[in-house]
Amino acid sequence: MWAAMIDRLRSIAALAPIAVLALALVNCQKESNNDADLIAVAFLLSQGPECIKYSATYDKPYSGLSLPDSSIAEADTAEGETVQAYADINGSWQWMTLVKTEDHYVLGDMVFEPHRVIEWNSDSVAPDQFRADGEFSAYSLAFNSDSIRWPMSGGFIRVPYVIDAGVPAATQTEIENAIQHWETYSIVRFHARTSEAGYILFQDPNDGSCKANVGYSDSVRNVWLDDACGTGNAVHEIGHSLGLMHTHQRNDRDSHIIYYPSRTTLPSQYEKLGSAGLDIGRYDIRSIMHYGSYFFPNSSDPVITTKTGALIEANRSALTTCDTYTVEQIHTNPAYNNKL
């Protein structure tokens, strides 16, 4: 019975892997021969798993509306020139507002190298004049032909890493706990770097920030963790290194939360990511990648709330099933990984 149902589901819609199908189908109470019923089931399954928070063993559940330690800024409020530019995100170019520092571009706690950014100013070609096949095309100028996905081997996502010698011992422990958390609940596997070109380098920024490069590259990928960032923020920043963006920047977020643009000091932190956003799976308000109601407010009013107006707690204590599902999809699904 189950094999027949799975075959029929697959013929009706493009669905999640068989493991997801099986998990959902065991809850079926009766067999249905109605294709309309199966289409409905297929639609639900294609959204990915229910978003459930995993248990965390490294700290107590976080139950605030900002960060565990409000003195630590999760996002780097870097000083520098504010520029309008195209940034390469998930292999797609997105028009956004960035802060230009001495050696990179910053969007909150996400850091982009110069070769993944194309600036625009009044002396250069206007954004609407960029052409897909022309001299001024963002795609022809700097598009990465390689996927920004980490290598796959033996069914696992393989991530080499190095912890800089200058990282305090306590922070090293938090990094190791964050790595263990990812390995416990996902197919990501970390190992000490030997000679790999692409790897994560954990460093102490010495500026009170927690930030990271986004996705894989055939070079060093930095994760900067201040000694007070904590394990939860280490898990979050590793998420960026694995290719995750901020959940509240999904294109479908207005169906799930209310955003008040006039209430924040950093509206760039809340810009939707357009075609570069890859809205995969269900919207997860409890994702470790989601902001809380009071991230970068300019008053006592919340910047984001639920659709009912309730405040949103920022989860920085554990991954959710939707966090790991998204990371695994962008690495194992050929639609998101051109290395497969």
Last residue of a domain, one of 199, 226, 241: 241
Does 36 map to a domain?
yes
Quote the pLDDT of residue 78.
Answer: 60
Q: How far is CA 127 from CA 82, 120, 145, 267, in A?
A: 16, 7, 22, 20
> Exposed/middle/buried for 19, CB within 10 Å: 0-12, 13-18, 19+?
exposed
Is the distance from CB of 160 to CB of 219 less than 8 angstroms? no
Q: Would residue 226 count as lying in a domain? A: yes
Average pLDDT taken over every residue of the chain: 75
Q: Kindly report, residue by residue over 258-300, the tens digit of the pLDDT.
A: 999 999 988 888 988 876 678 899 999 999 999 999 888 899 8
Dist. CA 283–CA 247, nearest whole Å:
7
Residue 183 falls inside a structural domain:
yes
pLDDT for res 123? 53
Of 216, 241, 266, the position where a domain reaches its end is 241
What separation in angstroms does the CA of 298 have from each of 167, 261, 267?
Answer: 33, 10, 11
Beta bridge partners of residue 163, listed in sequence order: 202
Q: pLDDT per residue over 191-249, tens digit each?
A: 999 999 999 999 998 887 888 988 898 899 999 998 888 898 999 999 999 999 899 99
Number of domains the chain contains:
2
3-state secondary structure 184-244: HHCCEEEEECCCCCCEEEEECCCCCEEEEECCCCCCEEEEEECCCCHHHHHHHHHHHHCCC
Among 326, 60, 58, CA closest to 180: 58
pLDDT at 143: 31
Question: Helix, strand, coil: what percent of the chain each, to 5?
Answer: 30, 20, 50
What does the DSSP assignment read for 109-175? Answer: TEEE-GGGEEEE-TTS--GGG--TTSTT-HHHHH--SS-SPPPEETTEEEEEEEE-TTS-HHHHHHH
Which of the residues in the chain have pLDDT under 50?
A: 1-45, 59-72, 76, 125-146
DSSP assigned state of 54: P
Within-domain flag for 228 = yes
Residue 59 lies in a domain: no
Full residue range of the structural domain in which residue 179 is found: 152-241
217 CB-side CA count, 13 A: 23
For residue 113, the model assigns a pLDDT of: 66
Question: Are the CB atoms for 65 and 97 separated by under 8 Å?
Answer: no
Q: What is the pLDDT of residue 301?
A: 92
- Residue 69, token pair as written in the block: 């330690």
List the structure tokens of 330.
């962008």
Bridge partners, residue 211, by sequence: 224
DSSP, collapsed to helix, strand or coil, labels residue 37 as helix
Decide: 312 and 263 in contact? Cβ < 8 Å.
no
* Residue 182's CATH number: 3.40.390.10
Asked if residue 138 belongs to a domain, the reply is no
C-alpha–C-alpha distance, residues 92 and 302, integer Å: 31
Indicate whether 302 belongs to any domain: no
Q: Give dist(CA 58, CA 235) in Å, integer.
A: 11
pTM of the model as a whole: 0.74
69 belongs to a structural domain: no
CB-CB contact of 202 with 258 (8 Å): no
Amino acid at 110: M
First-to-final CA distance of the chain: 32
